[in-house]
Structure 1
Amino acid sequence: MNLKKASLLIISILLIDQISKIYVKTHFVLGEDYTVFNWFKIYFIENSGMAWGTKLSDILPFISDRTAKLCLTVFRVFAIVGIGYWLVNTIKKEQSKTLVLALVFIFSGALGNILDSIFYGVLFDDSLSQVASFLPPEGYDSLLHGKVVDMLYLPLWKGYLPEWIPVIGGDYFTFFEPVFNIADVAISIGFGILIFFNGKAFPKKEDA
């Protein structure tokens, strides 16, 4: 895959991700959901932290939520620069196409979520008890303090777990509980490629 094709795929993933987020943000109130199928819902939530809603301040309790959010966003910026450099370098050296494809998905997803973190605080007003407006006179927060929009919810199974299961037996359980977005899907696909096609992504050099 050359740089042009990689760029087109990145732009396509970003467009799908951002269009879906902007649509949900400007048509749903926070916490609102729409049932597509019994096992698939559009459920609008916002994530100000890391994966699964974990906050950096939960790990480092001595810093405030706002400072933790700023540090997380800055870290993500450096991470995306590093991934981008790795991707371009891999393409220029004509290394494994499998590795290039994985990096394209990871880069696209990471960039999609970081756009939310950097800009959404100033591009939208609050979604609490109202449908947000795009480009309002005043956003819901400052630059670098935006929240990531999540909306894909797949409650494939709900019910009480058998009593014989240790610790959680008898508890009410939902599979799959996390709410995510297109960018998260892209990142998961990228890491999935690296895990399941590791040999093709990182081929061993034959001995001379």
Structure 2
Amino acid sequence: MITSLEHAPAAGEVGQLQRLKVAGIPVVETTVLMGLEVEFYQLGNLAEQLRRTFAGVFGARLDEEKLEAASAQAERLLRESYLLPERSEEVKAALPGGSLLVRYAGEAPFSLEPGPQEALWALKRLWASRWQVDAVLERAPELAPPEVPSLIQAVQGSLELDPILSQQASQVLGAAVRIWSSSGRAVWVAVS
């Protein structure tokens, strides 16, 4: 599903950003991608290829050399796989022009790109980042990465911690949060 923030299912940070917007706190234009990463894995038969790539890494003890080689191969596999052309066009059509921030919901910014095509390439790099050694170890022995919405956000200017928006958002959300903003508009809700 490729949708605007307003029409995305309200869960996690996506729901928090929606609540802030409804409360009148300015939020950057956000495109939410849900299920697209799963589709990418399915169409490329990536799950089976990754399972074979990581065979023998986790046994009675962790084989660090195999883990490093498998992680590098997994990242390469994702970067060299393709989204369906029509899906790529749908994503690009849903994005505004200008600088775009690519990241997972609930996670720190991953990549700032100058336009839609570059954001699409960054999206694949974001998905591939789930296979870096540290990321794999974090979820071991589970191999599959968690399903998390990917966000592409229109930003203008630098991203900075905004104490005023943080205070307002904490009141709206009923919990202490930090808001990172761009030009006075909320981008990232970080739990304090």
Q: TM-score range by the shorter chain?
A: under 0.3
Structure showing greater radius of gyration is: 1
TM-score relative to the length of structure 2: 0.27
